Amino acid sequence: MPADPTLDLDLAAVLDESRRLAASITPASGPWDAIVVGSGAAGGMAAYQLAMAGVKVLVLEAGRMVDHRKEYRTMEWPYASPRRHRLPPDQRAIAAAEYNFLDRPYGNDPAFAKHKKLASYAGNTFTRNWVVDEKQHPTTGTPYSWVRARVLGGKTNFWGRVAIRYGPLQFQAASRDGFDVDWPFGYEELKPYYDKVDVLLGVSGTKEGLDQVPDGIYQRAHKLNCVEVHFRDAVTKLGRRYIPGRAGVTTDGVLGNKYRARCLGRGRCSRGCDIGATFHSPTALIFPARDSGNLTLRPYSVAAEVFLDPATGRAGGVRVIDANTHEVMDFKAKVVVLGAGCLDSTRILLNSKSARHPDGMGNSTGLLGCYLSEHHMGPRGSGFIPTRIGTEPTLDDGRPTGPYIPRFRNVTDKHPDFIRGYHFQGGSASYEFPGHAQDLPGFGKAFKSSVRKYYPAQFAIGGFGEVLPRKENRVALDAEVKDAWGIPVLRFTYRFSDNEIRMARDMADTADEMLRAAGAENIKIDPTMLPPGWSIHEIGTARMGDDPKASVTDRFCRLHDVPNVYMADAAPFVSGGTQNTTWSILAMCWRTMDHLKEDLRTQA
């Protein structure tokens, strides 16, 4: 096979820049008012809010810098790669089924011994330089498909772009069905921050007046195509809504950010958007914050723990292991903000042990790591809409997200089999690659004709369901296994409950019901649940509350036990509903940073 030029990405310049920055920034380079751990959605927003307010911020990123112009291979065509964008032979991504039947740590399995790098299921030719090597970053315990990215911007470099708000059904879920507890505040308190995020970052969508998914301040939406309009009209008769996707992508442009441009409708957003239309933390938050002169960014900084100042009982700063040299350094600041992602931030706190906090910082109640939740996924349905079979294909693959069916279970009625609910994402499009061809029979000329015939008519949807927050679903430190930097790793104890299993069955049934209502042909329903963690929407492991005996953080995401440590990611979330989490992380972080800024002002 000829050489694959798509595998020869020259990263020498960005690697040199990363090493130079890491070497130039030492604990003596300060002082800083705040340390922010992580540079993704949470860390990026925290750093932006603080730096733009004049706070001197040190951002610690465990990975390297990113060259968004070169690494976001947005317009690379499939034929540029002889391997058609498969991973190199010496790299491998874990398949869905392997998560459940292979022992943990996954990287220790003999089946992967010949591979230089083992990635999560999210590893592909576009993300392979961003997602972590499971051999260096093991996990133990029950199966869990944890997707991690150690690079500037984290998973925002390739996130799914669905930008939906939590609403009253999420904040007061316990009051509705009696399970667990409500959030310590309601939607109306967070609404102004959602509005601010919408304006700062840009979000496309349509106003629909639905309590399940409250409206935002939207830019131009991407319209439904012919097949989707047909499906919308059919499911409306069932009392369900089918609306254009709400995307964290600016379609009209945003003010005051030279790193971003409006969407050109190219549709390859998950590779990284090289014009910055999609929200990526580097171009949307980190680079503008750096331009303020108040942000210092240190790459290759693996946060091992938050260390305690024994004289005050407050956090003194963050202990860092240099990713390349393994040098251990203590960076000090008045405040520590953890925005490394729900699970990594929790891991840092669990490893932050001292005489005062023998079980980890913030863990006096023993609740740190508990109530892990996310979304269960897998049940899906597909078919072909007859009115479009054999017609000319349309240009539909330039949208950043597909349309959306908001939650319809347990909204105004009560389902007999489960509480809470689910939503569907998906639609129809003549995509760059005709994925339906894999399911069509035949070969040769007749097969190609069949692919073209059904190309404009394909339709598919998949469900996202709420996982109930339960104390027994948790992470803890493994007593023996450590990562490549000698830091104890997370051990998962996590399983779907009967509520999720019954909900998944209903997902499959309603997918079938809606496809039949639309008159679809060749309907295929797959009720299989994907492995835990597949949604990449982890929340809840440092839950917030007003009672320090029943929660880890307060209503402003500050540790009850150590009040100068703040959580900027989804670890404090009490429950998650059916909505994707990123937009709520951004809004919650902004609210938390406003509280922190006021704290710093009063202390000055």
Statement: residue 430 has pLDDT above 90: no
Statement: residue 1 has pLDDT above 80: no
pLDDT digits (tens, 9 = 90+) for 565-588: 999 999 999 999 999 999 999 999
**Mean pLDDT of all residues in 207-230:** 96
pLDDT digits (tens, 9 = 90+) for 519-552: 999 999 999 999 999 999 999 999 999 999 999 9
Identify the CA nearest to 44 among candidates 306, 283, 377.
Answer: 283
Domain 208-245+375-466+497-531 in CATH 3.30.410? The answer is: yes
Q: Residue 3's pLDDT band (boundaries 50, 70, 90)?
A: confident
* Cα separation, 577 vs 421, whole angstroms: 7
Statement: residue 435 has pLDDT above 90: no
Are 581 and 537 a contacting pair, CB within 8 Å? yes
- The pairing of beta strand 301-309 with beta strand 295-298: unpaired
**Mean pLDDT of all residues in 14-22:** 98
* Cα separation, 459 vs 455, whole angstroms: 10
* Cα separation, 370 vs 470, whole angstroms: 8
Q: Residue 2's pLDDT band (boundaries 50, 70, 90)?
A: low
> Per-residue DSSP letters for 585-599?
HHHHHHHHHHHHHHH
How many other β-carbons are positioned within 10 Å of the β-carbon of residue 471? 12
Q: Residue 86's pLDDT band (boundaries 50, 70, 90)?
A: confident
**Mean pLDDT of all residues in 1-17:** 85
Q: Residue 82's pLDDT band (boundaries 50, 70, 90)?
A: confident
Share of the chain above pLDDT 90, in %: 93
Residues present in the chain in total: 604
Cβ within 8 Å of residue 344, ≥6 positions away: 38, 148
pLDDT at 603: 84
Q: Residue 375's pLDDT band (boundaries 50, 70, 90)?
A: very high
Q: Which long-range contacts (CB under 8 A, 24 or more apart) does 326-330 make?
A: 326/485, 328/304, 329/26, 329/27, 330/27
Q: Residue 351's pLDDT band (boundaries 50, 70, 90)?
A: very high
pLDDT at 56: 98
Instruction: Sheet with 521-526: list strands edge to edge.
Output: 404-405, 422-427, 458-466, 375-384, 521-526
- CA angle (520 as vertex; 517, 522 as ends), nearest 5: 135
pLDDT at 183: 98
Q: Residue 429's pLDDT band (boundaries 50, 70, 90)?
A: confident
The mean of the pLDDT values for the chain is 96
Cis amide bond preceding 31, omega within 30:
yes
* Cα separation, 312 vs 251, whole angstroms: 49
Statement: residue 285 has pLDDT above 80: yes
Whole-model pTM over 0.75 = yes
Q: Residue 433's pLDDT band (boundaries 50, 70, 90)?
A: confident
69 or 144, higher pLDDT: 144
**Mean pLDDT of all residues in 371-395:** 95
Q: Residue 451's pLDDT band (boundaries 50, 70, 90)?
A: very high
pLDDT digits (tens, 9 = 90+) for 28-55: 999 999 999 999 999 999 999 999 999 9
Give residue limits of the domains in the chain: 12-161+269-373+472-495+536-603, 208-245+375-466+497-531
Which superfamily does 12-161+269-373+472-495+536-603 belong to? Answer: FAD/NAD(P)-binding domain (3.50.50.60)
